């Protein structure tokens, strides 16, 4: 083996090359056919592209409809917020409610006093009526 020179190595490679190249070419051809089956054809690609574009258009339309609906809802909320009372109005309303509560409490106490008075008058009138009924023959 040490006596081999480059020319004998190249000659051996040429002899072997013819034997190796045929199966290698067949394997490359089979590989190419396999890879060809793994990728979509132009028609398949165009069909998928059209499907995707239609889907994107549908999504765009759906988003636009939802966007308009959201804008309408936000507009309604903003108009409702403009109609809400501000801080001073709420504070004035709280003060007014406080005054009304005090007046109601005062009225309740007055009504209780009147109720007690009416109860006493009713009791007195009952006693007078009883006395008059007992006295009459």
Is residue 47 within 8 Å of 55, Cβ to Cβ?
Answer: no
d(C-alpha 27, C-alpha 24), whole Å: 5
Q: Tell me, what's the pLDDT at 100?
A: 93
pLDDT band at 2 (very low <50, low <70, confident <90, very high): low
Residue 21: pLDDT above 60?
yes
Q: How many angstroms separate the CA atoms of 95 and 77, rounded? A: 28
Per-residue pLDDT tens digits for 110-123 = 999 899 999 999 99
């Amino acid at each position: 083996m040490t006596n081999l020179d480059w020319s004998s190595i190249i000659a051996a490679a040429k002899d072997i090359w013819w034997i190796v190249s045929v199966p290698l070419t067949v394997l490359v051809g089979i590989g190419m056919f396999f890879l060809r089956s793994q990728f979509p054809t132009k028609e398949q690609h165009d069909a998928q592209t059209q499907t995707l574009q239609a889907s994107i258009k549908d999504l765009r339309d759906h988003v636009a409809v939802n966007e308009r609906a959201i804008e309408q809802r936000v507009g309604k909320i903003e108009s409702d917020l403009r109609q809400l009372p501000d801080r001073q109005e709420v504070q004035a309303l709280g003060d007014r409610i406080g005054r009304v509560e005090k007046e109601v409490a005062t009225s309740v106490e007055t009504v209780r006093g009147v109720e007690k008075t009416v109860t006493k008058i009713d009791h007195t009138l009952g006693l007078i009526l009883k006395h008059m009924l007992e006295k009459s023959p």
